[in-house]
A and B are shown apart, each in its own frame.
Chain A
Amino acid sequence: MAGFFNRLKESLTRTRQNLVQKVEELVTGRTRIDDELYDELEEVLISADVGAETALELVERLRQRVKAEKIGDPAGLKDLLQQEIAKVLGERTATVNLEHQPAVVLVVGVNGVGKTTTIAKLAHRCREEGRQVLLVAGDTFRAAAIDQLEVWGRRIGVEVIRHQAGADPAAVAFDALQAAKGRGVDVVIMDTAGRLHNKTNLMEELKKVNRVLNRAMPGAPHETLLVLDATTGQNAINQARIFDEAIGITGLVLTKLDGTAKGGVVVAIRAELAIPVKFVGVGEGLDDLRDFDPAEFARALFAGDGEEEEG
């Protein structure tokens, strides 16, 4: 976990404008807890894409705790806010369920968020854990999407089930599960075409894929991961809501956290839809997938110098 922690911290401190430093700035040099301080905390959260409403709620909770616990020192606020965020994000680490034989993982999301790359990373991790993996090229729409997955498959040494471009993704899904049964595969991970959640026909197509998976193998898909780009703002809430309504999302993957975006919108999503974040992406390499631990994540956001090793 220390590796994850450092990596996360590293990526978060890369910019001058990160939450950690802003909160530090706010807290040091203040002797009083006043409205201005609360406003500034709220603004830090908004700047991290937490969203105005959620930020307001979090700060309100903070106010109440300060009152209830009779806190007078502004230095304590950082810890409290971090605790409140961790509380929203969930008490413990959420992991992917790979218990089934085979476990079927469906990966969905809007265009360009990092689905295919995440699949490669996840497949790589499964391989390292000694599992046999089968990839499914369910994006038959985007130009060269199948090739992209195949390149990854070759690099990792994992087989890819594919049809030709333009084929029905549900048919690919069906074939893949038949193949998986025959070969004693442990994990099946299916890629899908990026689609905007407001396109009804594309969401219907996804529902069909979901149904076919379930028919070919009762219980499948066992995990349906929605990939979100950390750079995305409040629209991610709509994405989560609509994908969840359509096919039921079991977990989020938050990619591109190696940039300067904070991905704070997952706090709002967790608050509203109770969907846990299961992984974060911190780069384009195969090793750049990390488990998401809510408490650790919140702590990393607010950790000051000298505290980072405690994770």
Chain B
Amino acid sequence: MAMFEGLADKLQDTLKKLRGKGKIDEADVTAAMREVRLALLAADVNLKVVKDFVGRVKERAVGQEVLASLTPGQQVVKVVYDELVALMGGDTARINLASRPPTVIMLVGLQGAGKTTTAAKLGLFLRKQGRRPLLVACDVYRPAAIKQLEVLGEQLDLPVFNLGTEVSPVDIAVKAIAEADSQGRDVVVLDTAGRLHINEELMDELRAIKVRVKPQEILLVVDAMTGQDAVNVAAAFNRDLEINGVVLTKLDGDARGGAALSIKAVTGCPIKLAGVGEKADALEPFHPDRMASRILGMGDVLTLIEKAQAAVDADTIREMEMKIRKADFNLEDFLAQMQQMKKMGPMDQLLGMLPGMNKMKALKDVEIDEKEMKHIEAIILSMTPEERRNPQVLKDSRKRRIAKGSGTSVQKVNQLIKNFEQTRKLMKQFADFRGPKGPGKGGSKGKGKAKGGFRLPFFKV
């Protein structure tokens, strides 16, 4: 079920098939929306949230901006992405601090969500901001839960308050505040026991703590792997406690984390922090934009699309394609194309933004390409315009001059010319193969075929 390896690719395929028609209409967008729906469901976004969302996106996607664009597939992805980011909240949310200390932060959630670990991480996080936190062990139920917090506190050199398992969590919380006051601790982090949102008795206990200690922040801790039920859980905790925010844990796993979207949609509460590892410092501010990319399974592809759109205008692409078809695509065009690419940013960064790009592996190769591209560029730049347009004129003496001028060798220059010729032939064949109706004959038809011309031939020097 590798269904979401790139919603971007899927959409591209879906919409590409439709391009023969010359125009994309509402029905085509509906087809694309089916892919969006599947991708979101595979990411565990709640079905109801998906339905609402897809409805809204479709409205926008049917609008001019997408249908008229050169790359409707990418445009649809962009609309989906923008809406996702908007839904998850624009800016990174902050933790509320009390005007008069101590600030009380209460962590609540289901069993196994990661509250205790988060309590310790939060303690460290706050201390790094110059605060003096006190961790409080209010989980009197799970075996060794208090011990767990104590061990973590010891490891991080953070004080932990506990009264054993015989005192009620409400009393523990109340006494902890007094303790914090007397010790000059300005933030109190309450670690509560995991509980089901449908357990009345235990939800009452949380309400009682809330009433007694009036926390500035009640944070719902949610496992990023949570499925469809996330909405029920979040809605119930929010109804009973009016939570202020969410901490999403275990984001270092490979879950798409659609729960983030579901929870935001049903509670309206921002996701404030993200747990990204087992180590105590693996707690980060939450970034809605990154989460949107993750839910869609597509790296930073949106940034890439935006850059590409800004840098490459449609006319250039069309012109390029025409040249390829007539096989008079020359080194000058090639240079222009390379410079277009450069406007988008360094190759390794660009490729790093692509989904499924294994950083370590891919980037090593890319570095080589980048160097090669510099060589190619240097060689072409050392040629006269005439030589660029017509590489056949290059005799040995000229090649020696170019090699010297570009700081390469005659061998490299030869290689470039040979590779270029081969590539040009290939491109011509490719262009012919892709359709008999060239832009020269079909006029506007060329618009839809621009993609082949845009591809940069990465031949080696």
A contact residues vs B (CB 8 Å cutoff): 14-15, 17, 43, 46-49, 51-53, 110-114, 141-145, 147-148, 150-152, 165, 196-199, 229, 231-238, 256, 258-262, 265, 268, 272, 284
Contact = CB atoms under 8 A, between A and B. Distances in A.
A14 to B, nearest CB: 6
A187 B397 CA distance: 85
B42 A51 contact: yes
B148 interface: yes
A276 B358 CA distance: 34
Q: Pick the 9 closest A-B CB pairs, nearest first.
A: A233-B227, A112-B112, A233-B44, A151-B143, A143-B151, A261-B229, A144-B148, A144-B147, A148-B144
A238 B254 contact: yes
Interface in B245-283: 250, 252-256, 258-259, 278
A231 B227 contact: yes
A265 B228 CA distance: 10
B232 A15 contact: yes
Contacts of A233: 44, 225-228, 230, 255, 258-259
B1 A53 contact: yes
Contact of A231 (B46, B229, B253): B229
B172 interface: no
B202 to A, nearest CB: 11
A234 B223 CA distance: 13
B98 interface: no
Nearest to B194: A112
Overall SS of chain A's interface:
loop
A259 B229 contact: yes
Nearest to B254: A198
Given A51-B42, A143-B148, A143-B152, 8 more contacts: A53-B1, A53-B3, A151-B144, A198-B254, A233-B227, A234-B42, A237-B1, A260-B197
Overall SS of chain B's interface:
loop
B110 A259 contact: yes
B111 A110 contact: no
B73 interface: no
Interface residues of B, number: 48
B113 interface: yes
5 contacts: A110-B250, A143-B147, A148-B145, A233-B230, A260-B197
Nearest to B153: A143
A256 B258 CA distance: 20
Given A53-B1, A111-B250, A148-B144, A15 B198 contact: yes
A235 B143 contact: no
Contacts of A114: 111-112
Contacts of B197: 259-260
A233 B261 CA distance: 14
Nearest to B48: A47
A199 B47 CA distance: 30
Contacts of B47: 43, 46-47
B338 interface: no
Contacts of B151: 143-144, 165
B53 to A, nearest CB: 15
Contact of B41 (A52, A141, A145): A52
A234 B196 contact: no
Contacts of B3: 53
A142 B148 contact: yes
Given A235-B253, A258-B196, A147 B147 contact: yes
Contacts of B223: 112, 229, 231-232
B444 to A, nearest CB: 38
Nearest to B40: A52
Interface string B143-168: 11101111110010000000000000
A238 B230 CA distance: 19
Contact of A234 (B44, B144, B145, B230): B44
* Interface core residue of A53, A198, A231 (most chain B CB under 10 Å): A231
B198 A259 contact: yes
* Interface core residue of A110, A199, A260, A262 (most chain B CB under 10 Å): A260
B133 interface: no
A110 B251 CA distance: 12
A259 B155 contact: no
B228 A110 contact: no
A234 B227 contact: yes
Nearest to B51: A43
